[in-house]
Structure 1
Amino acid sequence: MGLQDFAPVYHPAGFDPELRAVLADLQLGRWLAVRDLLVRTGGDWALRTARTQVLAVAAARTDAVEAWLAEEPGSADAVVMRARVAVERTLQAHRGEHASTGVLEREARQECLIAAQRVPADPVPWVALLALAQVDVGLQCGEHWRVAWEEMLPAGPWGLLARVGERDPAGNREAFHRMLQFFYSCPHTSVVDAINFARWAASWTPVGSPLRMLPLYASIESYWRHRQDGTLDPLQHRQWSREPVVHYVRGAFHGWKERLAPSTSVVDLNYLAHALWAGHQYADAAKVFGALDRYATRLPWAYVCDDPGHPESAVREFVRARAQCLTTTRTHATPAPKHRLRPV
């Protein structure tokens, strides 16, 4: 198979084979495997947050969690998953502009508070509450508009982020992405606010932290929004090879883990591969593409492809970028042929 014939794989479980197996069961409405997986996950907050997020998307289309609670009403994990599923259904209704969004949001908030009380050390109920902030476009809930920790940053659901941080001091990836989503959706904030927040977070997080990827998300979101509203500078694609974007791309790449853990985000690595490729850092991009193996995500490729409305266009963009990076790297790595000396 040639580089251009490469067929990427899209799967929400990513690098987590245990989660992949459980999702197959969950999609059939079975919950026992979910219960056992969360028991094995324990207090690994990064992994627990990532797994419950993916599980909630699948469970929202079934009654598996409801069946679990009916069988085991004393299960704390089931209570947390009920909150996760309620939030996911609310977000789906909000994206679809359904009239039921308000009712679902209130119910989801209540489920999150119940879960937070039931498992006080768990950051996941607070991450779920933070996810609901983007639905509150009218800022009806006071906790969604608190003064920021830094003077130059906008107000937002900082109290909820702090609650997550108290329980997961390492820096919860999803929580910070939920903050970004709030700044994108709130009518009183902007993409510039999101960029400033992302750069602030990346400035103090340790090497190897997934929070160092945040500026990459904010930069591509800015590119996409300018593209959508017709204000895109023809030279804006060059931002990936210019400061300060290069600084943040290098910061994200430095310390990234080539030995991938189950909690490693496939989306993060797609954003990193894109940023390096777009900045003509082909050798480093090839390393990330190599680590990704076949795993791809729709974004950011759909934002930069020729026809964002067609999924196959995003696939082609991913395949093209991957092939260019791997081909360039292999060409440069090929040693020059040795010249034989002619006998005298």
Structure 2
Amino acid sequence: MPAVRTAALMAPRGIRNEHDNFRPVYSPSGFDAALRQVVEEVRVGRWMGMKALLESTGSDWALRTSRTQVLGVFAARSQVVQAWLEEEPRDPNCQVMRGRVAVERALRAHRERHPSAPQLEAEAREICLGAAELLPTDPVPWVCLLALAQADERQVRPEHRQYAAEPMLPPGPWGLLYRVYERDRYNREAHHRMLRFLHACAAGADGSHAAAIDFMRWVSSWAPAGSPLLVLPLYAYAEQFRRQVEAQSADRWLRQRWAHEPIILDTRNALHGWFARTDPAQQSVMDLNYLAHAAWAAHWHRDAGRVFTALGPYFTQQPWGYVSDDPDDPEAARAEFLRARAQSLSAPA
């Protein structure tokens, strides 16, 4: 169903200025030029660059997590990791990438409701557990296992219905998240995977929203300054907006929500607690897009302009697709991004 256009989200049409010639770029590698080069090698079936990149990344867990995630998406489309495995079966980095690829394929099969999904999930789980044994200090295998939990919507597996240390949070794969904590306390992807799990397992939209909001508020209560986890609430709000629009509940409050509490408080926290305190070259392009949208939708055009400037040419499909005229049309999301960018960068200094 096409999303309801809201007054709070609309930018004036007909704006013609120097921003009209701007062309957004979609690149999962974002600002990581080294990763971008290796992705191109993976596309054509070469694995040596992937091996060298992961070796040079070392124990920078945040960078390792993001790089293996992107590489896993592209490597899952070919047999490049299998070729690496045949040449160097004992390489621990190869085993980690084997886990990334297996999880990506299992989740894809789950989304498509393919009959092979249960078998692929079981195989991916075994591969990830094996990688965790090879690299006991590496958080990535545990992040992968947490990602697999999304496919267990009914929480059949015991490790996916454990009680949280925080009483207000529902049962879930908390043991897996705590395994990540032991290795990388503020791991960005792990918390996003947990948020997706809460959305996937809820019985309905209201339940999903409540669990997700409780989770992100809990995370925000202890996430330190400079942490990308301060952007996590903006993902929960965007997902809530999408679900409410699909449920045809886009009332007046929903249309104005981006400019009111608690969203503006979390937007301000992300702006001043994360964006202003970190190196733009180390920031996630996805996080910047969510922050740019939230600031623009709150009518903080100058703040949004600073975020768009930091983004450079990089664009992500979401959250712009959620608030576009047609969420199913990629061009509608792109047009929404361009409107918001032009309006923000044209705001008076």
TM-score per shorter chain, which class?
over 0.9
CA contact (8 A) 1:4 1:320 kept: no
> Superposition RMSD on alpha carbons, in Å?
1.2
Counterpart AA for 1:259: D
Residue 185 (structure 1) aligned with residue 200 (structure 2): yes
The correspondence of residues 168-247 of structure 1 with structure 2, limited to 5 A, is 168-169=184-185, 171-188=186-203, 189-247=207-265
1:108-156 C-alpha deviation (Å, 9 max, x unpaired): 0000000001100000000000000010112121000111121111111
Counterpart AA for 2:199: Y
Query: Structure 2: how far apart are the matches of 1:142 and 1:259?
Result: 40
Counterpart AA for 1:227: V
Alpha-carbon distance, 1:2 to partner: 2.4
CA contact (8 A) 1:199 1:214 kept: no
1:211-259 C-alpha deviation (Å, 9 max, x unpaired): 0011100011000001112122233132111111111111111131463
- Scaled by the length of structure 2, the TM-score of the pair is 0.92
Query: Structure 2: how far apart are the matches of 1:215 and 1:105?
Result: 29
The correspondence of residues 289-308 of structure 1 with structure 2, limited to 5 A, is 289-308=308-327
Query: Structure 1: how far apart are the matches of 2:157 and 2:26?
Result: 36
Runs of 4+ with deviation above 4 angstroms: none
Counterpart AA for 1:228: E
CA contact (8 A) 1:270 1:297 kept: yes
Number of aligned residues = 328
- Scaled by the length of structure 1, the TM-score of the pair is 0.93
Indicate the residue corresponding to 2:86 in structure 1: 70
Query: Structure 2: how far apart are the matches of 1:310 and 1:74?
Result: 44
Indicate the residue corresponding to 2:340 in structure 1: 321
The correspondence of residues 95-134 of structure 1 with structure 2, limited to 5 A, is 95-134=111-150
Unaligned runs of 5+ in 1: 334-344
Query: Structure 1: how far apart are the matches of 2:145 and 2:328?
Result: 31
Indicate the residue corresponding to 2:65 in structure 1: 49
Unaligned runs of 5+ in 2: 1-16
Counterpart AA for 2:259: S
CA contact (8 A) 1:94 1:101 kept: yes
Residue 17 (structure 1) aligned with residue 33 (structure 2): yes
* Equivalent position SS for 2:217: helix
CA contact (8 A) 1:184 1:194 kept: yes
The verdict on how the C-alpha distance between 1:46 and 1:258 changes in structure 2, with shifts beyond 3 A counting, is closer
CA contact (8 A) 2:155 2:172 kept: no
Indicate the residue corresponding to 1:253 in structure 2: 271
